[in-house]
Amino acid sequence: MILEVNDIYTSYGLSQILFGISINVDEGECVALLGRNGVGKTTTLRSIMGLTAPTKGSVVYKGNDITGRASFRVAKMGVGFVPEERRIFSDLSVRENLETGRKPAANGANGGKEWTIDRVHEIFPILEGLSDRKGGYLSGGEQQMLTVGRTLMGNPDLLLLDEPSEGLAPLVVRDLSNQIARLKEEGMTILLCEQNAKFATGLSDRAYILEKGQVRFGGTIDELQENEEIRDQYLGL
């Protein structure tokens, strides 16, 4: 297991949001974290990233207990976080945005294959043609690709993606889906938060469904599709 989240409870001030969430991710897997708006998906990622420390339970990354550890330290250990709001520098060019993400791999060059701008272009070819364009002039889809690309430049071993498909047109979501699939083929380990279950399950090996800060379901995508109740509620059939 590259990531184990064990029975975490997280709150913002007095409002308790997570009530004993346990999830895990194996190396090379893509795992979906599904659920409607407000169930605690982002809070789970923030708890892993050390942005909001859990009050109970633990987060173990590569065998190290990182519960509540400062987010820059978690990032340095190889966890790449792509937040919901696409944080790009609007006054910097696409190439400069990618450069700002460059960080050495956590443990010796990512299996000898450091991310470069050329490698990011192989995954997101559209970014190559936009190299000199200012970030502020990109479409939503282009911004999303740039945000993921910039995070890849930090050589993560685990990628946390928070609703990457949000607000994107169906054709763009399809492109993004192919690009994430390609990343997975290259061996990237991904925890993918989504409300768009169809998009996420198409990419994932397993899924968890959150409801009101708890795990309602956990299993393989086949198991999810065989569960009529879950399927009807979440896959919109």
Ligand X SMILES: Nc1ncnc2c1ncn2[C@@H]1O[C@H](COP(=O)(O)OP(=O)(O)O)[C@@H](O)[C@H]1O
Whichever of 47 and 67 has its CB closer to ligand X, that residue is: 47
Q: How far apart are CA 56 and CA 18, in angstroms?
A: 10
Whichever of 106 and 200 has its CB closer to Mg ion, that residue is: 200
- Per CB under 6 A, 17 contacts ligand X: yes
From candidates 5, 23, 31, 42, binder to Mg ion by CB under 5 A = 42
Q: How far is the CB of 234 from ligand X (least distance, A)?
A: 13
Q: How far is the CB of 144 from Mg ion (least distance, A)?
A: 15
Q: How far is the CB of 24 from Mg ion (least distance, A)?
A: 20
Whichever of 94 and 159 has its CB closer to ligand X, that residue is: 159
What does 110 bind: ligand X, Mg ion, none (CB cut-off 5 to 8 Å by kind)?
none
- Per CB under 6 A, 12 contacts ligand X: yes
Q: Read off the tokens for 85.
A: 């709001």
- Per CB under 6 A, 43 contacts ligand X: yes
- Per CB under 6 A, 85 contacts ligand X: no
Long-range CB contacts (< 8 A, 24+ apart) of 117-120?
A: 117/153, 119/152, 120/149, 120/152, 120/153
CA dist 33 → 24, 93, 124, 207, 220 (Å) = 11, 32, 24, 6, 12
Q: How far is the CB of 41 from Mg ion (least distance, A)?
A: 5
Q: How far is the CB of 1 from ligand X (least distance, A)?
A: 23
Q: How many residues bind Mg ion (CB under 5 A)?
A: 2
- Per CB under 6 A, 197 contacts ligand X: no
Report which of 19, 35, 53, 42 is spatially closest to residue 161, judged by C-alpha positions.
42
What does 12 bind: Mg ion, ligand X, none (CB cut-off 5 to 8 Å by kind)?
ligand X
Query: Which span sits near ligand X by CB under 6 A: 30-38, 68-76, 140-148, 221-229?
Result: 30-38
Contact residues for ligand X (CB under 6 A)?
Answer: 12, 15, 17, 35, 37-43
Contact residues for Mg ion (CB under 5 A)?
Answer: 41-42
